[in-house]
Amino acid sequence: MLAIQNLTKTYPNGVKALYGVSLTIPEGMYGLLGPNGAGKTSLMRTVATLQEPDAGTIRLGEIDVLRQKDEVRRRLGYLPQDFGVYPRISAQDMLSHIALLKGITSSGERKDVVEAMLRRCNLYDVRKKSLTTFSGGMRQRFGIAQALIGNPQLLIVDEPTAGLDPGERNRFYNLLAEVGENVVVILSTHIVEDVMDMCSRMAIIHLGKVLFEGQPADAIAQLRDRVWRRSIAKSELPDYEQRYQVISSKLAAGRPVLHILCAQTPGDGFLPASPDLEDVFFTKIRGWN
């Protein structure tokens, strides 16, 4: 279990990345949902021993994450949001090197593990190719492979599905689900379905603060009977935005479909909608309750 207490971080340029963040993350998949710039990456880097908070504590079981960094790293799998690769090195060699640094020092074992991981991440056929020639999706799969290798007890994945096609994405989530039962998995994303599909618990984070923590179903339950939808003409949008608490507007068959938050029946052609996590997400970050 990962316990985060009162984590605060202000960058030298004055940006408050984290503001008293406290979370308790049990084993299993944990979704961290927030728009870009919410502080997700700062939080994850801090947990991944890459950044110092100004205040607060993090504990992974008995381990003080901020002081016993090496202990954390021995249990950690980390997929950064944005990463590159060494030039002039093949996928297999790089993965093998990372596996070794994680502690798979026996070369025979390492060879098997690397090969299995390459197969699992669908990189086996290109294992001898230079990483610099990889496409975005292939590179992302490599990132996943390096994070998963070594059976981490704490797996932090930051925007893992960026650049993956739907099939790849499904396969990745299957992989995660496989490993995620007995370990702490923090999945950071701005894509609501990912959390909905995968996570038993989640937090919504915005501007460095936790807006919600709990089970996705609980969050949705909070909005029961308060979300309404209606299809409108494009030109009417500003008018509606003035009159209602518009959660979102999405195009359906070329026309905007509005979701609004309203405790009573709004009339005006709005129909009740069954709330989803996306409605929760937008409601939370807009600060409505």
Partner 1 sequence: MLFEIAWFEIRYWLRSWMLWIFTLIIATMIFGAVGTDFIVVGSALTNTYHNAPYVIENYYTFIGLLTLLMVTAFVNSAASRDFSHNTYQIIFSTPLKRRDFILGRFLGSALVSVIPMAGVSIGILLAKYMPWVDPERWGPVVWSAHLKGLLVFAVPNTFFIAAILFTIALLARNDVVAFIGGILLLTGYIVSEVFTRDLERETLAAILDPFAIRTFGLLTKYWTVAEKNTVTVGFTGLLLWNRLLWIAVGIGVLAFGYFRFSFAERARKSKAAAEEPSAPAAAAAFPSFELRQDNWTKLLASVRIHFLGILKSTVFIIILIAALLNCVPSVIFNAREGYGNATLPVTYWILDVIASTLYLFVLIIITYYAGVLVWKDRDNRVDEITDSLPAPEWVSFLSRFIALGAMVMIIQFLALLSGIIVQAVYGYHRFQFGLYLSQMFGRDLLLFIMFGALAFFIHALAPNKYVGYFSYVAFAIGNVFIWRPLNISTNLMQFGATPQVVHSDLFDDAPYISAWRWYALYWAFFCALLAVATVIFWPRGRQLSWRERWRNAGLRFHGLWPALTAVCLLLFVSAGAWIYYNTKILNRSMGPKDRLRLQAEYEKKYKSFDSLPMPRVRSIKYDIDLLPETRNAFLRGEEVIYNPYSDPLREIHFSLDRLYEVDIDIPGASLVKDDKDLSYRVYHFSEPLAPGQSLTFHFTVKSRNRGFENSVSNVNIVQNGTFFNSTVGPVIGYASDREINDPIERKKYGLGEQQLMPALERNCSEHCRDNYLKGHSDWIDVETVISTSPDQIAIAPGSLVREWKENGRRYFDYKLDHSSLNFFSFLSARYAVQREDWNGIKLEVYYDPDHAWNVPRMMNSLKKSLGYYTANFGPYYQKEARIIEFPRVDSFAQAFAGTMPYSESIGFIANLNHPDDIDMVYYVVAHEMGHQWWAHQVVGANMQGATLLSETMAQYSALMVMEKEYGRDMMRKFLKYEMDNYLRSRGQERLKERPLLTVEAEQGYIHYRKGSAVLYYLKEMIGEDKVNAALRKMIERYAYAQPPYPTSWDLIDAFREQIPAQYQYLVKDLFEDITLFSNRTLEATAHKRNDGKYDVTIAVESHKFKADPKGNETEVPVDDWVDIGAFAKPEKDRKYGKTLHRELVHVTQAHSTYTFVTDELPDKAGIDPFLLLIDRVPDDNVKKVTLAATSSTATD
Cα dihedral 167, 168, 169, 170, rounded to 10, equals: 60
- Name the one residue in this structure whose structure tokens are 């689900």: 177
DSSP readout, 192-207?
HHHHHHH-SEEEEEET
CA distance 275 to 192: 13
The interface with partner 1 within residues 102-161 (CB under 8 A) comprises 102-106, 109-110, 112-113, 116, 119-126, 129-130, 133-135, 137-138, 143, 146, 150-151
* Closer residue to partner 1 (CB): 87 or 267: 87
The interface with partner 1 within residues 250-279 (CB under 8 A) comprises none
69 binds partner 1 (CB under 8 A): yes
Maximum separation of any 2 CA atoms in the chain, in Å: 69
* Closer residue to partner 1 (CB): 24 or 151: 151
17 binds partner 1 (CB under 8 A): no
* Closer residue to partner 1 (CB): 108 or 267: 108
Q: How far is the CB of 45 from partner 1 (least distance, A)?
A: 6
181 binds partner 1 (CB under 8 A): no
CA distance 140 to 164: 7
Query: Are the beta carbons of 276 and 191 closer than 8 angstroms?
Result: no
12 binds partner 1 (CB under 8 A): yes
Query: Are the beta carbons of 70 and 225 closer than 8 angstroms?
Result: no
177 binds partner 1 (CB under 8 A): no
Q: How far is the CB of 161 from partner 1 (least distance, A)?
A: 17
CA distance 28 to 185: 6
| Size of site (CB under 8 A) for partner 1 | 60
DSSP readout, 36-92?
TTSSHHHHHHHHTTSS--SEEEEEETTEETTT-HHHHHHTEEEE-SS----TT-BHH
288 binds partner 1 (CB under 8 A): no
97 binds partner 1 (CB under 8 A): yes
* Closer residue to partner 1 (CB): 144 or 285: 144
183 phi and psi angles, rounded to 5 deg: -125, 165
| Residue ranges binding partner 1 (CB under 8 A) | 11-12, 45, 48-52, 67, 69-70, 73-74, 76, 78, 80, 82-89, 93, 97-98, 100-106, 109-110, 112-113, 116, 119-126, 129-130, 133-135, 137-138, 143, 146, 150-151, 167, 171
